[in-house]
């Protein structure tokens, strides 16, 4: 998990996600120091619920550490780009695209999550990860799932 930063750039909303090297620090930060954390988790629950109605299931194969299946699902759902997306949804009600910048690669589950979100919520999302842009619109990504 990372730190969120909101940047308003004209007509679009930017959410940047930055990582610390220490997992422990990240966890504390996400739990306590983000003043919008409760709102974000509430929004996440709502988004996940809606996406599940169209067939979303957390892909736990992206979790590489050895914990039980339920814990893996929670970990996948708390990936920073999902939280950043919810933050973006909370802070912009006008339908403008949500831009998310992260300094690591997006995982398969988040990629799928963004695609579904762009269809169900009819909201465009642009994710810039370490190597490329992913532009999600109407359930599809500009990378055509090759990244």
Size of the residue set binding Zn ion (CB under 5 A): 6
Mind spelling out the 3-state secondary structure of 6-69?
A: EEEECCEEEEEEECCCCHHHHHHHHHHHCCCHHHHHHHHHHHHHHHHHCCCCCCHHHCCCCCCH
Tell me if 102 contacts Zn ion by CB under 5 A. Answer: no
Q: Which stretch binds Zn ion (CB under 5 A): 6-14, 31-39, 96-104, 139-147?
A: 139-147
Q: Which stretch binds Zn ion (CB under 5 A): 4-12, 16-24, 40-48, 72-80?
A: 72-80
Question: Which residue in 63, 110, 116, 125 binds Zn ion (CB under 5 A)?
Answer: 110
Cβ neighbours, 10 Å, residue 68? 8
Where does this chain bind Zn ion (CB under 5 A)? 79, 107, 110, 134, 141, 143
């Amino acid at each position: 998990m990372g730190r969120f930063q909101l940047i308003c750039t004209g007509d679009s909303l930017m959410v940047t996600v930055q990582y610390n090297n220490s997992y422990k620090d990240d966890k504390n930060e996400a739990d306590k120091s983000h003043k919008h954390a409760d709102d974000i988790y509430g929004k996440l629950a709502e988004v996940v619920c809606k996406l599940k109605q169209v067939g979303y299931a957390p892909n736990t194969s992206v979790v590489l550490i050895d914990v039980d299946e339920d814990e893996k699902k929670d970990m996948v759902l708390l990936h920073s780009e999902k939280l950043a997306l919810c933050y973006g949804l909370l802070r912009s009600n006008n339908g403008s695209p949500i831009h998310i910048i992260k300094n690591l690669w997006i995982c398969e589950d988040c990629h799928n999550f963004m695609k579904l979100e762009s269809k169900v919520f009819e909201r465009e999302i642009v994710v810039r990860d370490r190597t490329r842009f992913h532009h999600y619109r109407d359930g599809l990504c500009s990378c055509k799932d090759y990244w």
